[in-house]
Amino acid sequence: MENILSVLVFFPAIAGLLGFVVNKESARVYGVTVAAIEFFLSLWLWFAFDNNNAGMQFVEMIPLIPDFGVSYYLGVDGISLFIVIMSTLMTLIGMISMNIAKNIKNMVITLLFLEMTMVGVFLSLDAIIFYLFWELSLVPMLYIIGAWGGPLRIYASIKFFLYTFMGSLVMLVGMLFVAYIYHDLTGVWSFALTDWYALVLPVSYQLWLFAAFFIGFAIKVPMFPFHTWLPYAHGQAPTIGSVILAAVLLKMGTYGFVRFSLPMFPDASVIAITPIAIISIIMIIYTAMVAYAQKDMKQVIAYSSVSHMGIIMLGIFAMNAEGIGGSVFQMLSHGIVSGALFMLVGVIYDRRHTKMMDEFGGLATVMPKYALVFGIMLMASVGLPLTIGFVGEFLVLIGFYNVSPIMTILAGTSIIVGAVYMLSVYKKSFFGPVTNEANRTLQDLDAKETISLVPLVLIVVWLGVHPKPVLEPIDNSVKAMLSFMDEKAITQEAKEMIKVAKSTQEIK
């Protein structure tokens, strides 16, 4: 299919515009249908994808502002392919599962526009187009939190917007300066990433530019100490908002590091390994301990999300195929598992209108199917072998062990701490006698909720047992990037680090 990437980007937006004339009673069915078509289109992209080609595929390029080198430039490789598929899948699951009574038509239209921006970010190969989709994604999420959120929704939405918008402005300055450097060296303007990759910048330039991009990406991840907007956003957002935020929007930050920072600034990336590793370990351990102290079930999942994003960051800066490939896989794992956990918290909130663990107890007796699904997702979250959560974490830790065994051991404590707070949630909420009479008559998972959650359970088990179909294309693109970084690196330290990365064992 020609122009498949453009179809993936703009089909949800066009459908969103048409949604204004759809009857309110038909809005959910319309949204699910559009999201399902989008998901199957992304699956077609996977089936047509050449796993042996590590470069960009299905490339589309149309000059928009030729005098300044701005182009409509799209492409997909093994790194972005599955993040796009996860984005379309979680949008579809969210559409099916959402329990919105107020203005559901507006919610459907908003989600479709949000899906366009998410897919656009992961497919863009022009910095300006990337930035436009990046910024546009803020508007639908701001509206979702502000219009359908909790009592502090205005504060949470404004904090989310200000943090991410201000970080993006610093990133934009970095982008404009890279384009200026390219023009100064070649005499032409270009914002194409493939042109920028060819630049060999002095280490001093790399460090300043790395810092500019770092601020934009780190706030989005969110890295410590920029993480304070996330618990508020999750705590006040409706369930569908938390699902999309955790599953997809946070991955824009980690994806940005892989797509921009590593290949463009290899020497600066190597210099930044230790400070970023320290920040990542603080994220992993500190937010895990904060999660343990929470009494609100949703806040536990929110802080757990930050902790797991620290593991992804650690893998990205391992500078080897295991670490980076594992971090990309962990993006998928985190998206599916955290999205499912937020959905599960939403299920019980819809029934009891509370997320406080003290209000529950004995749910396994009353809601056995719900308890089973929650237990599976909980085990995937803590990295139980044969679940999707184990694969990414294991590869990240193996990859970073080549950099620093001591830091890897510290990061590995996340598995222990994570098991403690997640099992504590499960024990308080699901085991023991039913102490609250309001819980005795709770309905187990209904058909809509089961349809939403069972596919995620199957993915968690399938990719935990047999991850090769996903790991192989990721691995090929990561190794191509590492080879390119090796050729481009200036300092001997960077060359040695990346050479070690290329000689490590191949991901199987």
Could you read off the pLDDT of 336-351 as tens digits, one per residue? Answer: 999 999 999 988 888 8
Task: Read off the pLDDT band of 444 (50, 70, 90).
Answer: confident
- Cα 54 to Cα 78: distance, rounded to the nearest angstrom: 7
Structure token pair of residue 1: 């299919």
Residue 414 · residue 394 · CB < 8 Å: no
Rama region for 353: left / alpha / beta (φ>0; ψ in -120 to 50; rest): left
Task: Read off the pLDDT band of 1 (50, 70, 90).
Answer: low
Q: Tell which residue, 307, 310, 311, 491, has the closest CA to residue 399.
A: 311
Task: Read off the pLDDT band of 504 (50, 70, 90).
Answer: very low
- Cα 251 to Cα 89: distance, rounded to the nearest angstrom: 15
Rama region for 466: left / alpha / beta (φ>0; ψ in -120 to 50; rest): beta
- Cα 332 to Cα 247: distance, rounded to the nearest angstrom: 8
Q: Is the pLDDT of residue 292 over 80?
A: yes
Q: Is the dihedral of CA 264, 265, 270, 276 positive or negative?
A: negative
In sequence order, the β-bridge partners of residue 60 are: 74
Structure token pair of residue 324: 């980076």
Q: Is the pLDDT of residue 508 over 60?
A: no
Q: Is the pLDDT of residue 506 over 60?
A: no
SS3 150: coil
Percent helix, strand and coil across the chain, each to the nearest 5:
80, 5, 20
- Cα 389 to Cα 393: distance, rounded to the nearest angstrom: 7
- Cα 100 to Cα 94: distance, rounded to the nearest angstrom: 11
Q: Is the pLDDT of residue 421 over 90?
A: no
Q: Is the dihedral of CA 220, 146, 349, 460 positive or negative?
A: negative
What one-letter code names the amino acid at 342? F
What one-letter code names the amino acid at 88? T
Average pLDDT of the segment spanning 302-321: 88
Task: Read off the pLDDT band of 118 (50, 70, 90).
Answer: very high
Q: Is the pLDDT of residue 217 over 80?
A: yes
* pLDDT at res. 231: 81
Most confident of the ranges 277-281, 410-414, 438-442:
277-281
Per domain, the residue ranges of the chain are 272-508
Residue 312 · residue 329 · CB < 8 Å: no
372 CB-near residues (< 8 Å, 6+ apart)? none
* pLDDT at res. 499: 57
* pLDDT at res. 230: 81
- Cα 318 to Cα 396: distance, rounded to the nearest angstrom: 8
pLDDT in tens, 360-378: 888 888 889 999 999 999 9
Rama region for 387: left / alpha / beta (φ>0; ψ in -120 to 50; rest): beta
247 CB-near residues (< 8 Å, 6+ apart)? 86, 87, 90, 334, 335, 336, 338, 339
Cα–Cα separations (whole angstroms), residue 205 to 398, 422, 485: 32, 44, 16
